């Protein structure tokens, strides 16, 4: 049974998820607002999510380290679904190669800024320094992992035969190439992704005493 204090948060969080699913999967993705009723329905996920956040019991969230179970998945939803879709529709389908490169650069530049915005909000809300570091460095590892490259190939409906199936060599993945010394094969890319995801999970969920020991060691070095 859910404890009484976080019950309101859980209820409104569930309502937010249900409303978001209805809006995304049950309503057409129109640019124009067709009626006031549809407009208000599309606002429900935001309203429910706001109320869930407002009702969140901070001490309970700190005790179970809820931030580690909410912020990284929220970042991954942005990075593994919306970013590939932005690249696909904004660059591949509708733009020139130069426009695609400009879009790519700007999105990947704003992504670390988004991570820092998340952890800044968490820190200003009373989050500990150790959890700030866990979140920031863990999400950075996820960003650099190549997961987004894989998502780009799998969540979009590619008409280009070169990307209709996952390519045998990922010659565009320069962030992997600089580590490996050559463009990665498909299976090398998979291994690269797995290593980074494991490292990110280790950052998120490693024992707190390891982080405390690093802090003590750094403080001693600083005062020497």
- Domain spans of the chain, in order of start: 1-64, 65-223
Handedness of CA 10, 15, 18, 24 (dihedral sign): negative
pLDDT digits (tens, 9 = 90+) for 95-123: 666 767 777 777 877 888 888 888 878 88
Mean of pLDDT values over 189-199:
96
Q: Are 193 and 146 in contact (CB under 8 A)?
A: yes
Q: Please provide the average confidence, as pLDDT, over all residues in the chain.
A: 83
Mean of pLDDT values over 128-151:
88
pLDDT digits (tens, 9 = 90+) for 11-53: 998 999 999 999 889 988 776 667 888 888 888 998 898 788 8
Which distant-in-sequence residues (6+ apart) come within 8 Å of 175 by Cβ? 144, 146
Q: Which two tokens stand for residue 219?
A: 């403080």
């Amino acid at each position: 049974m859910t404890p009484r204090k976080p019950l309101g948060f859980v209820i409104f969080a569930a309502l937010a998820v249900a409303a978001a699913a209805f809006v995304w999967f049950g309503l057409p993705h129109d640019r124009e607002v067709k009626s006031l009723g549809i407009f208000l329905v599309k606002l429900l996920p935001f309203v429910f999510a706001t109320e869930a956040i407002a009702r969140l019991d901070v001490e309970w969230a700190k005790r179970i380290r809820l931030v580690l179970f909410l912020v990284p998945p929220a970042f991954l939803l942005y990075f593994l679904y919306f970013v590939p879709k932005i690249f696909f529709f904004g660059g591949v389908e509708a733009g020139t190669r130069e426009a695609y490169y400009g879009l790519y650069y700007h999105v990947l530049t704003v992504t670390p800024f988004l991570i820092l915005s998340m952890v800044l909000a968490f820190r200003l809300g009373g989050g500990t320094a150790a959890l700030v570091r866990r979140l920031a460095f863990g999400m950075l590892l996820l960003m650099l992992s190549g997961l987004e490259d894989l998502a780009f190939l799998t969540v979009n409906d590619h008409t280009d035969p070169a990307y209709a199936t996952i390519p045998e060599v990922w010659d565009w993945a320069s962030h992997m190439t600089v580590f490996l010394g050559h463009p990665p094969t498909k299976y090398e890319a998979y291994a690269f992704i797995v290593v980074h995801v494991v490292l990110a999970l280790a950052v998120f969920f490693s024992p707190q005493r390891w982080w405390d020991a690093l802090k003590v060691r750094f403080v001693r070095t600083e005062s020497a």
